[in-house]
Structure 1
Amino acid sequence: MVIGRMLRGLAVVAALGLAAGEAAAQKSADTLRILFRDAVPNIELYFNSQRTGLILSHLAWDTLVHRDPVSFELKPALATDWKLIEDNSLEFTLRQGVKFHDGSTMTADDVVYTINLAADPNSKVATPSNYSWIDTAEKIDDYKVRVKLKRPTPAALEYVALVLPINPKAYREKVGAEAFSRAPVGTGPYKIVKLDQAKEVHFERFADYYKDSPKGMPRIGKLLVRFVPDAATEMTELLAGRADWIWNLNPDQFDSVNKMPTLQAVRAESMRIGYLSIDAAGRSGAGNPLTKLKVRQAIWHAIDRETIAKRLVTGGSRVPPAPCYPTQFGCDGDVAVKYDYDPAKAKALLAEAGYPDGFDTELVSYILPQWTASVQSYLQAVGIRAKVSQLQVAAAIQRAWRGENPLYLGSWGSYSVNDVSAILPNMLGGGNDDYARDPEIHKLLEEGGSANDPAKRKAAYSAAIKRVTEQAYWLPLHTYVNTYGFVKTLDFKPFADELPRFYLYGWK
């Protein structure tokens, strides 16, 4: 209701041309104003696990290999060539003449330093499974690097392309990790000229960006990224002409935004999955009801995922049959145990588990409050009284990693890697997000991630998926359909891998 009144009121402002004037002024200043709700605590990708962090990283940093956003074809970037050596090493030939934003030249020293930093357990990277396949990197000469693998890793180049941005060794060592996070330097198409941690980031086009980059020279000169606390503030800023681009707005606002004379909204499904993590391992309290199989099965039967996908997420959202995105290699929906929406069966299972009157628990969430309320309501209907703790993304993740979330609503985009090794090991492989702690699953995921034979990989991942769903550990709720709102003067195109590439966009 509040958003509806706001939309109607600000439509008058837009009709008077005030918001349009703001947007036109920003176009003339060649500055794109971008808003995100999830403030990034550390902009260096290795030390945050947020989608926003990945998006910002690809603006200011480059990787050795580039993945085309449309075809997913791997193309040369900071490396001009690469080859696999005896299944256990990757050798990269580096591009010469690439400049960092501080004017220094990229060499093998920078690449070796960065990769070894990411692979070192003492670095305490945010998502260890992204780099757990790396043993060490070594310098062959100034422009050749060999990366030794701990095991065969078929998806290695996908990880190289998406989550291995190269840092300048001399500068980062000189200033230290903390100072680097406040004044970072990369080789990307934009350089960071001002950073107010968790508040705003200012980018400017990098004049010395290398000419053969598959990203190309940015079309827009400046980007101003601001972090705001919630969806309502984000929408207010867009409607008032103080922002040019937002995403993940409430789907209910899609039609209203498209009625605004200066704005446009579009939808696109992404590889992101909304999920409910259930504390089967008792990390949030030993012996709590969620450690019982029948309670977890009751939860899976209690939630009407089809209705959530079709009526709340909308835009073509689907219920994944398995705990992974359907196109990912190894995502076998056929072996997954199916749980229909059946509240009567959920109540019966709770009674069999010793909870005929239900029980009290906590539901921690950073997703849209309307979606959280829906899950809470379905649980309440079968007797599970879940108190909601609605948090900012970083705070919810920190609580999850400490093992404090009995029920946890979140989302995972697999860093856009089209392989189940980017989702199952992270959520169920023994790391911070694993609330199952099942040794059998750990073993199967290790087998799937360490074989080159596609048939062996599929067999291991299928067995893991079957076990996860039999034990009702981690409930996939729906695919994400990103809803974007932006000024009509922006030439914007969404991509399926959920990575807005602001260096490709321009003014109409």
Structure 2
Amino acid sequence: MKQSWFKNTIASVALIAASGAAWAEKANDTLRVGFTKELENVDSYFNSSREGVVLQRAIWDGLIYRDPITNEYSGNLATSWEWIDDLTLEFKLREGVTFHNGEAFNADDVVYTVNFVAKEENGVKTQRNVNWMKSAEKIDDYTVRIHLKEAFPAAIEFLSGPVSMYPNEYYAEVGPSGMGLKPVGTGPYKAVSVVPGQHFVLQKNADYHDSPKGKASITNVDIRTIPDVNTQMAELFSGSLDLIWQVPADQAEKLAQMDQFTVSNESTMRVGYLSMDAAGRSGDTPFTDLRVRRAVNHAINREELVAALLKGKSKVVWTPCFPSQFGCVQDTAVQYEYDPEKARALLAEAGYPDGFTTEFYAYRDREYAEAILSYLNAVGIKADFKFLQYSALRELNMTGDVPLAFLTWGSFSINDASAMVSQFFKHGSLDDARDDQVLADLTIADSATDDATRIEHYGKAIARITDQAYWAPMFSYNTNYVSTNEVNYTPTADEVLRFTTMTWN
């Protein structure tokens, strides 16, 4: 780690102390947490950021819960469920549950939520999370059926993750914007204050139902958005924060040497990759040429990136999905060894003996992006580097205006390949390949009820995607969590901060 960072951090601590900042204490039972990325809308269906997932799991509940350690499913807002046929799931709902605003939870809430988010025109940001549902039907006050558009064997996994239940009366009145400002759920924490993109205050739900999530121990959680990691660490030193996460590896290593902090590293399902505009959506671009895309793949030294920058539990990834996800077949993926000479030869063969210049976008981990740029520059690909907020880059991606980007995807922690490969390669707004063969295989894989058929067609899709080098998958992420020694927390491998499992030492 650079000494300049440490000196700057200490200087920042002095300034904060001089300004009279209060030291964080557990005496008032308030956990102070730092977020890095701005969350534009707390409504869990209208953001696609990791910070949004964290708040979703705290404020809302789904029908089903998946244990992050054992991966076993259990009832949450539902007490039981069964498949009536390949296209119909029936749920018995938990009685006696109330939303934070006092509304009683029943089948009407499930029906309203599902019917709203399943309509594409209502604009849910991550359509993959909801577009497999056709509608919901009330059988009685505590029995409901969800109808699928087609067979979707990953339904239980999605219902245990990003599909939360909303209060029908309140949501009908305020909509996504109102839910974003004054969130109302049934979860273990209530949102008592929201300043969009800046500040979120949660309070323990004393009336939380008998959920497998467990009841919260810490009464208050105060979350502030602090984009600069050095400032986060300065506030951790000064006592203004109790917990930060997504801390870069070199800085986490330094903090781990200090007695006053606890540093934990855990793997995640997040994959870092380069996306290239193979379909030419952004205009006349070199990336429509297969040789150029393969050159990019050969230009990246993945092993060095992992060893030097990510460290921890990160690994090299060759697939457009996370290896543990069901259907993320590793054997069919084409692997591109680091070979800058071969990359230069492919560029020359494609008509770029002197390379070319392109726009290059990223939204996080500037150090990683700059390292990737150095590899590309070494083979002749020069870049006009544009570092944007996540929400701004996502909108550009959706309109097809990005020729080359360093992106990441955490699959909403869904352990199924459909949550990643099908999110980006089924001709949706984020698909820069538009490959009909891939679409055909993913359509079969997503809807087949036989595991072997699913694996076969995911394998074919992955083989095609990697052979055509539509992406350059690079690595999995790990996450460093740093807290004061007063905080007791064991992170899980799904990259979800669970405030309910945090206690004071």
TM bucket (normalised to shorter chain) is: over 0.9
**1:293-308 alignment to 2 at 5 Å?**
293-308=290-305
How far 1:243 sits from its partner (Å)?
1.1
Residue 34 (structure 2) pairs with residue 35 (structure 1): yes
Counterpart-to-counterpart distance in 2, 1:54 and 1:63: 13
**1:333-348 alignment to 2 at 5 Å?**
333-348=330-345
Given candidates 349, 356, 366, the residue that maps to 2:353 is 356
Counterpart-to-counterpart distance in 1, 2:365 and 2:313: 18
* Gap change, CA 1:263 and 1:498, over 3 Å in 2: same
Counterpart-to-counterpart distance in 1, 2:312 and 2:72: 27
Counterpart-to-counterpart distance in 2, 1:232 and 1:426: 34
In structure 2, the partner of 1:470 is 467
CA contact (8 A) 1:90 1:147 kept: yes
In structure 1, the partner of 2:7 is 5
How far 1:73 sits from its partner (Å)?
0.6
Residue 420 (structure 2) pairs with residue 423 (structure 1): yes
Counterpart-to-counterpart distance in 2, 1:160 and 1:44: 17
**1:445-464 alignment to 2 at 5 Å?**
445-464=442-461
Decide which moves more: 230-239 or 375-384: 230-239
Given candidates 382, 386, 390, the residue that maps to 1:389 is 386
In structure 2, the partner of 1:311 is 308
CA contact (8 A) 2:267 2:314 kept: yes
CA contact (8 A) 1:11 1:260 kept: no
Structure 2 SS opposite 1:22: coil
Counterpart-to-counterpart distance in 1, 2:39 and 2:275: 22
CA contact (8 A) 1:65 1:76 kept: yes
CA contact (8 A) 1:359 1:385 kept: yes
Residue 20 (structure 2) pairs with residue 22 (structure 1): no
RMSD: 1.8
Total equivalences in the alignment: 502
Structure 2 SS opposite 1:273: strand
CA contact (8 A) 2:445 2:455 kept: yes
How far 1:405 sits from its partner (Å)?
1.5
CA contact (8 A) 1:319 1:477 kept: yes
Structure 2 SS opposite 1:163: coil
How far 1:14 sits from its partner (Å)?
12
Given candidates 307, 323, 331, the residue that maps to 2:320 is 323
The letter of the residue matching 1:372 is A
How far 1:7 sits from its partner (Å)?
4.3
How far 1:10 sits from its partner (Å)?
7.0
In structure 2, the partner of 1:373 is 370
How far 1:316 sits from its partner (Å)?
3.0
Counterpart-to-counterpart distance in 2, 1:175 and 1:14: 39
Structure 1 SS opposite 2:124: coil
In structure 1, the partner of 2:140 is 141
Residue 156 (structure 2) pairs with residue 153 (structure 1): no
How far 1:110 sits from its partner (Å)?
0.4
The letter of the residue matching 2:110 is V
In structure 2, the partner of 1:438 is 435
CA contact (8 A) 2:277 2:288 kept: yes
Structure 2 SS opposite 1:186: coil
Superposed CA offset, 1:133-176 (max 9, x none): 11111100000000011122111111001011110001111233
**1:203-242 alignment to 2 at 5 Å?**
203-210=202-209, 212-242=210-240
How far 1:240 sits from its partner (Å)?
2.2
Decide which moves more: 105-114 or 438-447: 438-447
CA contact (8 A) 1:7 1:256 kept: no
Structure 2 SS opposite 1:176: helix
How far 1:260 sits from its partner (Å)?
2.9
Structure 1 SS opposite 2:279: coil
TM-score (norm 2): 0.96
Residue 261 (structure 2) pairs with residue 263 (structure 1): yes
Given candidates 484, 488, 498, the residue that maps to 1:487 is 484
Superposed CA offset, 1:383-417 (max 9, x none): 00012111222222122112121111111111111
The letter of the residue matching 2:139 is I
Counterpart-to-counterpart distance in 1, 2:287 and 2:148: 38
Superposed CA offset, 1:69-94 (max 9, x none): 21011111100010011111100000
Counterpart-to-counterpart distance in 2, 1:189 and 1:302: 47
In structure 2, the partner of 1:53 is 52
How far 1:323 sits from its partner (Å)?
1.6
How far 1:504 sits from its partner (Å)?
1.3
In structure 2, the partner of 1:83 is 82
Identity of aligned residues (%): 43
Counterpart-to-counterpart distance in 1, 2:407 and 2:149: 31
In structure 2, the partner of 1:246 is 244
Superposed CA offset, 1:169-220 (max 9, x none): 011112333222211110001101111111111110112111x111121000
In structure 2, the partner of 1:496 is 493
The letter of the residue matching 1:49 is S
The letter of the residue matching 1:28 is A
In structure 2, the partner of 1:111 is 110
How far 1:234 sits from its partner (Å)?
2.1
Superposed CA offset, 1:211-268 (max 9, x none): x111121000001111122222222222222111111111111221123332221111
TM-score (norm 1): 0.96
Structure 1 SS opposite 2:184: coil
Counterpart-to-counterpart distance in 2, 1:424 and 1:271: 13
CA contact (8 A) 1:88 1:152 kept: yes
Runs of 4+ in 1 over 6 A off after TM superposition: 10-16
CA contact (8 A) 1:335 1:466 kept: yes
Counterpart-to-counterpart distance in 1, 2:487 and 2:200: 20
How far 1:107 sits from its partner (Å)?
0.8
How far 1:321 sits from its partner (Å)?
2.6
CA contact (8 A) 1:276 1:408 kept: yes
In structure 1, the partner of 2:282 is 284
In structure 1, the partner of 2:166 is 167
How far 1:11 sits from its partner (Å)?
8.3
CA contact (8 A) 1:33 1:224 kept: yes
Counterpart-to-counterpart distance in 1, 2:455 and 2:427: 20
Counterpart-to-counterpart distance in 2, 1:172 and 1:296: 45
